[in-house]
Amino acid sequence: MYNWKYKTYRLMWLSLDLLFPPQCGGCGRTGSRWCEGCQNNVKILNGTICEICGLPQEAPGICGACLVERPHFRSLRAWAIFENPIQKALHQLKYRRGMALGDALAAAMTDFTRRLDWSADVLAPIPLGQKRMRERGYNQVAMIAKPLALSLGMQYAPRLLTRQKETRSQVGLSREERRENVREAFSADVKIQGKTVLVMDDVSTTGSTLSSAAQALRVAGAKEVYALTVARALPHRDLKRA
**Which CATH number covers residue 216?**
3.40.50.2020
pLDDT tens, residue by residue, 148-161: 999 999 999 999 99
Residue 3, domain member (yes or no): no
pLDDT digits (tens, 9 = 90+) for 180-238: 778 888 999 998 999 999 999 999 999 999 999 999 999 999 999 999 999 999 975 55
Q: Is position 106 within any domain? A: yes
> Is the residue at 20 inside a domain?
no
State the helix-helix crossing angle for 101-115 and 2-19, rounded to 10 degrees: 150
- Burial of residue 165, with CB atoms counted within 10 A of its CB: 0-12 exposed, 13-18 middle, 19 or more buried: exposed
- Tell me how far apart the alpha carbons of residues 14 and 98 are, in angstroms, rounded to a whole number: 14
- With a CB cutoff of 8 Å and minimum separation 6, the contacts of 134 are none
Please tell me the pTM assigned to this model. Answer: 0.90
Residue 79 domain-assigned (yes or no): yes
Q: Which residues pair with 225 in a beta bridge?
A: 197
**Measured CA angle at 127 (ends 51, 26), to 5 deg:** 75
* CB burial readout 224-242, b (16+ within 10 A) else e: bbbbbbbbbbbeeebeeeb
Q: Give residue 35's pLDDT band: very low, low, confident or very high (50, 70, 90).
A: very high
Q: What is the pLDDT of residue 47?
A: 87
The verdict on residue 9 lying in a domain is: no
Give the chain's radius of gyration (CA, Å).
17
State how many domains the chain has.
Answer: 1
Instruction: Report the alpha-carbon distance of residue 144 to residue 154 in Å, rounded.
Output: 14
Helix axes 86-95, 101-115, angle to 10 degrees: 130
Taking the CA of residue 60 as centre, how many other CA atoms within 13 Å lie in the half-sphere pointing to its CB?
0
Residue 13 has pLDDT above 90, yes or no: no
**235 in a domain, yes or no?**
yes
**Which residues constitute the domain of residue 102?**
42-241
DSSP 8-class letter at 30: B
Which conformational region is residue 207 in: left (phi greater than 0), alpha (psi within -120 to 50 degrees), or beta?
left
36 in any annotated domain: no
Which pLDDT score, from 0 to 100, does residue 184 have? 82
Tell me, yes or no, whether 1 lies in a domain: no
Quick check: 180 and 209 in contact, CB under 8 A? no
Strand order in the sheet with 196-204: 76-81, 224-232, 196-204, 122-125, 155-156
